[in-house]
Amino acid sequence: GESIADVLSMTVTEALELFSNIPRVKNKLQTLQDVGLGYVRLGQPATQLSGGEAQRVKLATELSKRATGQTLYILDEPTTGLSFEDCSNLLKVMHRLVDSGNSVVLIEHHLDLIKNADWLIDLGPGAGDKGGEIVCVGTPEQVSGMKESHTGEYLKHILDNLAVSEVTG
């Protein structure tokens, strides 16, 4: 068997394998894995987590609770530091939340997440002191057609490439 020290030095991914036959533990670990925290060691102090990691731990904690379908989640750039695969997994988690009747509000720059939104509020026109005004609102498709939106310009390329790949794929 494993000692407590051995378990605490394991990553979430390693512990998931060890505890695969204990459903309550497995489900908690799987949720951490789903939000892109498979590399975190179980014994890592919370003070050593980045802001994005801490935010995803909180999200995993919420996902582990019994869902009411009436929760508003507000996430500030949850994809910061995530690999493409982890972003994809996080997107699945967010779809799960919405499909369960919850609302998810993201502050995000990652276009792969933005293109999956039901509704966008584009703030700008620039960043920091040069922004803060509502530039436009709408679906990703609507925002991608608005010339005044920098986000829309980038989004248009993503959506156009997606449409081309769906036609040729």
CATH code of residue 77: 3.40.50.300
pLDDT tens profile 136-167: 999 999 999 999 999 999 999 999 887 777 76
Same domain, 99 and 115: no
pLDDT at 32: 94
Taking all residues of the chain, what is their mean pLDDT, rounded to a whole number? 90
For the cut 80, the answer to whether the pLDDT of residue 116 exceeds it is yes
DSSP state at residue 139: -
Same domain, 18 and 57: yes
Phi, psi of 20 (to 5 degrees): -60, -20
Choose one of 86, 108, 130: the last residue of a domain. Answer: 108
Same domain, 102 and 121: no
Choose one of 83, 108, 133: the last residue of a domain. Answer: 108
Owning domain of residue 133: 109-169
pLDDT at 123: 93
Taking residue 123's Cβ as centre, other Cβ atoms within 10 Å add up to: 15
Same domain, 94 and 128: no
Choose one of 60, 76, 108: the last residue of a domain. Answer: 108
- The type of residue at 24 is R
What's the number of domains the chain is made of? 2
pLDDT at 141: 96
Taking residue 16's Cβ as centre, other Cβ atoms within 10 Å add up to: 18
pLDDT tens profile 13-66: 999 999 999 999 999 999 999 888 999 999 999 999 988 888 889 889 888 877
85-90 mean pLDDT: 86
Positive/negative CA dihedral, 65, 74, 83, 121: positive
pLDDT at 136: 96
Q: Three-class SS of residue 3?
A: coil
Same domain, 70 and 121: no
Same domain, 60 and 117: no
Q: Three-class SS of residue 105?
A: strand
Centroid of chain to Cα 14: 22
pLDDT band at 85 (very low <50, low <70, confident <90, very high): confident
First-last CA distance in the chain: 50
For the cut 80, the answer to whether the pLDDT of residue 133 exceeds it is yes
Centroid of chain to Cα 49: 16
Positive/negative CA dihedral, 91, 97, 98, 99: positive
Same domain, 88 and 103: yes
pLDDT at 169: 62
